[in-house]
Structure 1
Amino acid sequence: MNGMKDWFLLDPNMTFLNHGSFGACSKPVFENYQEWQRILENQPVQFMTDHVYSALNDSRIALCDFVGCDEDELIFFPNSTTAVTNVLYNLDLKSGDEVLMSNHEYGALVRAWTMYGKKMNVKIIQQEIPIPLTTEEKFIADFWKGVTLQTKVIFLSQITSSTALIFPVEKIIKMAKKRHILTIIDGAHIPAHMPLNIHELGCDFFTGACHKWLCGPKGSSFLFVKKEHQGWIKPLVVSWGKNGDDPTPSEFLQD
């Protein structure tokens, strides 16, 4: 295990434990990351106009294979908070509708949902999940108490940030489907930490971070959008991509 430190640029006098916030890049990843920066700076305009989209597409194909989804269901984001925020501001919720989450969710996203709830007069329910957790069945029973006829969205972490709990999201997703409740899974801590197959999970949306346990460069995360929802998901920032037919990998990216 001590030999693993040689693969990283970490201070040898420090024991680095917080890989879940920002993981350290391994030396080969960091060197490759710097090489891409050099390529960019060698011909900045040419790289951004002629090469960046094909390079991102190659990365997306490789990542889709790793996380278990199709290449036209995934797009990159700088972090999971940005990805989920893009989804929530596309939701067509009505006054009085409810969003259900646990009281163990990531603080930045709790704030994002709270702001959305105030703006749209949507009720944000943080269902109390007592710890220590004893069984999956106890979690499911406690969480499902928060479901009402007004519940339209379930937002849930697969691994919680502050309490490091693993929630049985697959079972919650199956139950939600029967009630036609949209499921958004915060899987920021999942890639390379636990086996992941998004299609097997069956959720509507999933976000994961590649700069944590996957040891990717900072600012590398992704959003999975199920094909049936791609027609109504739009970016919060519109850039130079040309319009296309929905669904496509993205109507806002150039070919």
Structure 2
Amino acid sequence: MSENLARHFLLREDVVFLNHGSYGACPRPVFEAYQRWQLELERQPVAFFDPARGATARMRDTRVALAAELGTDPDNIVGQTNATAALNLVARSLELKPGDQILTTDHEYSALEKTWAFIVRQTGAEVVTVEIPLPLVSEAEFTETVVAGFTDRTRVLYLSHITSPTALLFPIERAVAAARERGIYTVIDGAHTPGHLPLRLDALGADFYAGNCHKWLMSPKGSAFLYVRPELQKLIDPLVVSHGWTADNKVPGVTGPFGNTPFVDQLEMQGTRDPAAWLTVPAALAFRRDHDWAEVARRCQALAQETARRLAARTDLAPLSSPEFCAPQLVAMPIPDCDTLAVHRALMEKYSIEMPVFKWRNRAIARLSVQGYNSPAQMDLLLDALTELLDLEMKATLMA
């Protein structure tokens, strides 16, 4: 698998890169398309940024291509630099007041925990955290746990679709529907989802959804999107007010200054910035089609799950979920209690393995990403490295 696909990536050959989940990795043809956009910008920047000479159309071309992948209308999404920025837009646009509650789980991304802490300080609202039972083995138990946290003061349900620290695939559909029925805003962190799972945003029914394109979709860094249901787009205020804003942006049916909806124009046109990463998303989608990515992903999932099972056999530690609730190509593997920072450093210094090892809720975790450039031999090296560093006792069955 990886021997055929690794040549398409720019990763250093002297590093075993098992951390696609943090920042992704961009294939060479996609990166070359990125550089072509940057070169076109530098050759004639005035023409490149002029809406009348194609700037608006280029930005829309990406929205059209990405919307087809995401199962929504191009006017429901807008490009952002990353999912954190997109979710900050939402969090700071919602009119919360003292006593309002933001319901979330104990598996959320630390940067967004800080975002909501900031919102709490600004508004007087409060964050209520529910603890998801582990191992996650039941959609019904997950949904019941979330819904049990609703009160008459819950205004926002904030969930990850795929969790960052624990690599769990949260079955969010019924929880989202239950919140919508109660008039609770649903805000979904889908940073790891695009390109990792099939995603149909309109069918999901979330009010707000943010996703990265630079992770599993493999576009360049700085490409992400914000999705907002049409009837709620008037709620969103830009963090930067610039040429795309109009005083009538809250009025239904009004067109923005550059011919899009006010939602799109006020977030796309915010002063000078390099849009090359966003414009390269169609090239990333084409690369995936050209390489039968559904089959690549299937093989990566099988390799990730096999590696997790082999490590669990050595540690005697149970997984965090049953297979259907584990992210397909991303798995958080419990390891014996240890100095996780020291293990992380030793993996790189001794074995040239780039992979996060950290503490989460007093659990030691090694988080493995498997992408099309990885190989079974790299998984063997990882298992041997962890066995040595953690002083694991090899099971007789694994020695055979």
Secondary structure in 1 matching 2:20: coil
* Equivalence for 1:207: 210
* Equivalence for 1:7: 8
* Equivalence for 1:123: 126
Q: Does 1:84 align with 2:87?
A: yes
**Deviation string, structure 1 residues 119-157 (Cα, Å, up to 9, x no partner):** 111011121113221211221222222211100110001
What aligned pairs does 1:172-187 form with structure 2 within 5 A after superposition? 172-187=175-190
* Contact 1:191–1:210 (8 Å) recurs in 2: yes
* Equivalence for 1:236: 239
* Equivalence for 1:188: 191
Shift of 1:242: 5.3
Q: Which letter does structure 2 place at the counterpart of 1:84?
A: L
Q: Distance in 1 between matches of 2:136 and 2:92?
A: 32
Q: Does 1:51 align with 2:58?
A: no
What aligned pairs does 1:150-165 form with structure 2 within 5 A after superposition? 150-165=153-168
Comparing 123-132 with 71-80, greater Cα deviation is found at: 123-132
* Equivalence for 2:200: 197
* Equivalence for 1:136: 139
Comparing 139-148 with 68-77, greater Cα deviation is found at: 139-148
**Structure number with higher helix proportion:** 2
Give the unaligned 5+ runs of structure 2. Answer: 254-260, 270-400
**Deviation string, structure 1 residues 92-131 (Cα, Å, up to 9, x no partner):** 1121010001110111001000110121110111211132
* Contact 1:155–1:184 (8 Å) recurs in 2: yes
Q: Distance in 2 between matches of 1:72 and 1:123?
A: 32
Q: Distance in 2 between matches of 1:94 and 1:186?
A: 22
Secondary structure in 2 matching 1:156: strand
Secondary structure in 1 matching 2:196: coil
* Equivalence for 1:66: 69
Q: Distance in 2 between matches of 1:168 and 1:143?
A: 11
* Contact 2:100–2:154 (8 Å) recurs in 1: yes
User: Whose Rg is larger?
Assistant: 2
Give the unaligned 5+ runs of structure 1. Answer: none
**Deviation string, structure 1 residues 34-78 (Cα, Å, up to 9, x no partner):** 000000010112211233322111111100011011111110110
Shift of 1:251: 4.5
* Equivalence for 1:101: 104
Q: Distance in 2 between matches of 1:57 and 1:222?
A: 13
* Contact 2:106–2:129 (8 Å) recurs in 1: yes
Q: Distance in 2 between matches of 1:242 and 1:149?
A: 35
Q: Distance in 1 between matches of 2:8 and 2:252?
A: 43
Identity %: 44
Q: Which letter does structure 1 place at the counterpart of 2:79?
A: F
Q: Which letter does structure 1 place at the counterpart of 2:167?
A: A
Where in structure 1 do 4 or more consecutive aligned residues deviate above 3 Å?
244-247
What aligned pairs does 1:238-253 form with structure 2 within 5 A after superposition? 238-241=241-244, 243=246, 245-246=251-252, 248=261, 249-252=263-266
Q: CA RMSD in A?
A: 1.4
Q: Distance in 2 between matches of 1:67 and 1:16?
A: 28
Q: Distance in 2 between matches of 1:161 and 1:14?
A: 23
Comparing 7-16 with 216-225, greater Cα deviation is found at: 7-16
Q: TM-score, normalised by structure 2?
A: 0.62
Q: TM-score, normalised by structure 1?
A: 0.95
Q: Distance in 2 between matches of 1:150 and 1:210?
A: 34
Task: Tell me the matched-pair count.
Answer: 254
Q: Which letter does structure 2 place at the counterpart of 1:127?
A: V
Q: Does 1:110 align with 2:128?
A: no
Secondary structure in 1 matching 2:114: helix
